[in-house]
Amino acid sequence: MMEDRVNKKFSTESVVIALTKGRILREVLPLFASAGIVPLEDITKSRKLIFDTNLPNLRLMIIRGVDVPTYVEFGSADLGIVGKDVLVEYGEERFYEPLDLKLAQCRLMTAQPCFSVGDVGKSHRARVRVATKFTRIASEYYASRGEQVDLVKLNGALELAPSLGLADVIVDIVDSGMTLRANGLEAKEVVLEVSSRVIVNKGSMKIKNQSIREILTQLSKAVGSN
């Protein structure tokens, strides 16, 4: 078992994995169990943020997805599980990204009102205005298409932006598309395919290489068996 193989190594190398709250956490915990990593208490029923596991010196940190890259980049966590959208927006070049867990899959897409080009209500702005919380990704996406747009940073309720005249288009995560349709929008272009990724602090990969590689190997096997 993994615990037998890593007990000795973990006795001197404390490893922290930052996990994203919400959907990713719900899908990751069974995968971790398959990989031999089990928290010693029920994470879903606790208000704690740090949890011990069945493996010596391996702890799990439960935080918001947008904060996972920061904790990993600065070494407070050695590894993290985060959506590809958050990772790209933050700057994926700052980490090693060794594994796609293929969990919490969705798409980052453009969406706009369902009316046709000639309909009344279409914006007459000189440049398209795009509302999104993913300003870095959106900027690079439109630049790659040779399109100049004006970006509006919003952290929530993006679906309201077109109907209230704040934006012509939104760039947001789309799963079923039901929320878009309920607000008179339709998904258009795929900007980014999203799933949960493992990221690793570059310094930790050097200093704690054996422990981290063992964890990655077990997670990879668990992904392959699902």
What pLDDT does 54 receive? 96
Residue 118 has pLDDT above 50, yes or no: no
What pLDDT does 176 receive? 84
Residue 90 has pLDDT above 70, yes or no: yes
pLDDT band at 49 (very low <50, low <70, confident <90, very high): very high
Closest CA to 218 of 37, 52, 26, 40: 37
Mean pLDDT of 38-67: 94
Mean pLDDT of 109-116: 85
Mean pLDDT of 193-203: 97
Read off φ and ψ for residue 67, nearest 5 degrees: -95, -15
What is the H or E stretch that residue 162 is in?
Answer: helix 160-163
Range scoring the smallest mean pLDDT among 77-86, 121-130, 205-214, 216-225: 121-130
- Domains (ranges, CATH) in the chain? 2-104+195-225 (3.40.190.10), 106-194 (3.40.190.10)
Q: What is the mean pLDDT of the chain?
A: 91
What pLDDT does 44 receive? 86
Mean pLDDT of 199-207: 97
What pLDDT does 116 receive? 47
pTM of the entire structure? 0.87
What pLDDT does 10 receive? 44
Asked if 57 contacts 40 with a C-beta cutoff of 8 angstroms, the reply is: no
Alpha-carbon separation of residue 33 from 30, 48, 158, 195 (angstroms): 5, 20, 36, 19
pLDDT tens profile 152-185 = 999 999 999 999 999 999 999 998 889 999 999 9
Most distant CA pair in the chain, distance? 70
What pLDDT does 115 receive? 64
CA dist., res. 5 & res. 1, Å (int)? 7
What spatial distance separates the first Cα and last Cα of the chain, rounded to whole Å?
18
Mean pLDDT of 59-69: 97
Percent pLDDT > 70 in the chain is 90
